[in-house]
Structure 1
Amino acid sequence: MVIYDAIGTTYTSTRRPDRRIAAHLTAALGDARSVINVGAGAGAYEPPQTVVAVEPSSVMIGQRPAGAALVVQACAEALPLADGAADAVMAVLTVHHWTDVEAGIAELRRVARRRVVVLTWDPRVIRTFWLVNEYLPEVTAFDEARAVPVDRLTELLGGARVRPVPVPHDCTDGFGAAYWRRPEAYLDPVVRSSISMLAQLGEEVLRPGLAQLAADLRSRRWHDRHRDLLERPDYDAGYRILVAG
């Protein structure tokens, strides 16, 4: 079963594209006049020059807005597209869901004439994130089973420039570390349902850690422990853009 057929039903309510992250992607795409968006989901971060979106989940396809690019229901590992079909190919927070990363990256390179842009995260950095490190260590084991090291992706891409993507304190896109300065958000089941690393673990696994987080918020212990975060405008949680030309 496609993962987002099960967990993607409330996706558009909490996963609204953030303009600052969009700016990083726009810069990475450069002067590309045609783009293929692989693992496109509901169309977040899809630039206007997108000619085709590729998405395996019918639930996510059903949430794409009117006027969005033509979408093809398919997987990254077998793109139904010709060689060199667009100037650039982008893949945003999707490679960790692929069943065969090597095949998927090879397909991105095949259909891109000039550039491949991948937004992912460095698992070595995100495991230090307070939510995982202090409250939900189960996420680390789950994440390490599916996350692709940045060095490995760079190798598969034949070399790539790696750029950090800091997460704004008021990030509108509710991915895993988006609420680093708004810890109470992780207590909201709707928020958790749109974060794949939490939704796939299940509520039974998460309950003890979330109960401790709730207690620490009530007692202000979390605020005391993370006083250094409370005035920061952004945070490096390990998200990275890889640009291969």
Structure 2
Amino acid sequence: MIKKSNLKMGMCFPFLIIVILLNACTTAKKLKYFQDLPENNQLTNLGDSHFTEPVVQPDDILSINVNTTEADAGQIINARNGVNLVAGINSSTGSVGVSSGYLVDKDGFVEIPILGKVQLAGLTTTKAKEVVRTAAKKYFKDPIVDVRFSNFKVTVLGEVNRPASYVLPNQQVTVLDAIGYAGDMTIYGKRTNVLIMRKTSDGKNQSITLDMTKKDVVNSPFYYLKQNDVVYVEPRRARQDTNTENTVLKYITVAATVLTAIVLLHRYSL
């Protein structure tokens, strides 16, 4: 009788181990990005990404530098980039800091010492650089001009480790970059439903959800973020999925441990 019971318990134990392993694999799979990529060293073509260079808008803050062959010729212009104008967010910690540079007024103009008022709204930084260079040629010999955003900001909310607004060091930023700045998604983040919210230059509000488990997400026009975009990582059923999985796994583990002890006791009692 003891041997028969012992045999049944011994048959159940491997089954429980398989259940535990399958449950763990299912949970781990939900945490993966790009799940449809082949799991080998095969080169995979992901297609073309859609990056559109952002344009300057009113209330933007620009870093404008003018350098020439004449010593200290652009010093007055370049010194303005060290003037704090508006509160910002540190790109690495999310803490409050300041942005410096030239503020674009409501009419789209930037007032630059010596050069005067220059209209830059509606232009990319590449085009803005040419406009400033043309204005600078009137006063300086062979000017070299650089125009960059000082307040390229995106906000990452929801199930990430460091939700905050981030002022980023460059303007070619993907949704993966933003999630990376925020310390990646938590284990509760729903990777199949990442919401991107965007306000267009004409004042319209747009939104789209991206499935970060699919490789074709890189082809979305929202894969590259624009200034002031909001990234929201939705929780998986208000964390109920993960809580349920953890509870089931906990009970299965406890049951397997108890069953192992019973099997060992029966073997020693023979």
TM over 0.5: no
TM-score between the two structures when normalised by the length of structure 2: 0.25
More strand per residue:
2
More helix per residue:
1
Higher-Rg structure is 2
